[in-house]
Amino acid sequence: MPELPELELLSETLTRYLAGKTISEVVLNPARAFVIRHPAQDFAETLRGRVLSDVRRRGKFLLFGFAECDEQLVINPMLSGRFAYCSRAAPTLAATCFTLRLAGGDEMRFLDATMMARVYLTSRPEADVPTFADLGPDARDPHLDFAAFAARLRKHRGEIKNVLRNQAFIAGVGNAYADEILWEARLRPLRRTSTLDDSERAALYAAVRTVLSDATAIVKQQYAEHKHPLHKQDRSFLRVHGKGKAVCPRCGHRISSIHSGGESTYFCRGCQV
């Protein structure tokens, strides 16, 4: 599932392709229109003629803005939502949910094989998009200093990893980068936030900043060097996530994994306490 670093790259890349482009037509796939939380026909009619201005990220949501219009196209890609920017002549894949045909002959297509994604067209995402109003500050928000982070952490009880993934605490962190942040901070994922002392809270804050900043730079470099396309995630650079039974790069202990609810947690019993 894409998290903050991948979505940051995606928002920048889509802005580069789409800014200033006019939507000449919207083509819906009736079999997959379920992902659109808006009357399908109204969705197509409303978007026709709109000029795209930019694509921004808010937590795990992508917000497509339009020139001279307050409405936004808000998309939560979830597990399998993908974007394709291509010519009109490119073959249409079965997973395509809708297509924005652009003046000039190019298209932006949204695909989702599992139909878990959610798409909204609204001028009030806080009111119309579930969980949007509850989002905490972005995990890379420069205004989120340590004092604000620590104050929020005291209000969120439970296991540290679950708190990190709680979008109401900070927005943008998911399963993979939560593992990486906790490894960087030398904290076990199953510890409760109430057990952290001041130095551990400081280490956690620093790890959030470092891990997400470094990962964002890496995924942008990967794309710039054409090592992988946008729709494929190359997370081989991660230290512990997905590395069960491998050797911890810091202490040499074997990396442990816990599987629950369809997701996995990876950590080192040797150097995470």
pLDDT band at 230 (very low <50, low <70, confident <90, very high): low
Give the predicted TM-score (pTM) of the model: 0.93
How many other β-carbons are positioned within 10 Å of the β-carbon of residue 123?
A: 10
Contacts of 56 (CB under 8 A, 6+ apart): 11, 62, 63, 65
Q: Is 77 in a helix, a strand, or coil?
A: coil
Residue 14 banded pLDDT, cuts 50, 70, 90? very high
Average pLDDT over residues 254-268: 93
Q: Which amino acid is at 235?
A: R
d(CA 256, CA 132): 34
For residue 147, what pLDDT is reported? 97
Q: Helix 4-18 and helix 198-224: axis angle, to 10°?
A: 40
* Interatomic CA distance for residues 55 and 81, integer angstroms: 16
- The answer on pLDDT for 112 being more than 80 is yes
Average pLDDT for residues 137-147, to the nearest whole number? 96
Dihedral of the alpha carbons of 85, 87, 89, 90, in degrees to the nearest 10: -30
pLDDT band, residue 149 (cuts 50/70/90): very high
The encoded tokens of residue 124 equal: 């009030």
pLDDT range class, residue 227, cuts 50, 70, 90: low
Task: Kindly report the average pLDDT of the chain as a whole number.
Answer: 95
Of the two residues 103 and 231, the one the predictor is more confident about is 103
> Could you tell me the domains of the chain?
4-134 (3.20.190.10), 146-268 (1.10.8.50)
Q: How confident is the model at residue 96 (pLDDT cuts 50, 70, 90)?
A: very high
Instruction: Average the pLDDT over 88-96 and give the result.
Output: 95
Cα 1 to Cα 61, 89, 137: the distances in Å are 12, 29, 20
Q: Which of 39-48, 57-66, 68-77, 113-122 has the lowest mean pLDDT?
A: 39-48
Q: What is the mean pLDDT of residues 133-157?
A: 96
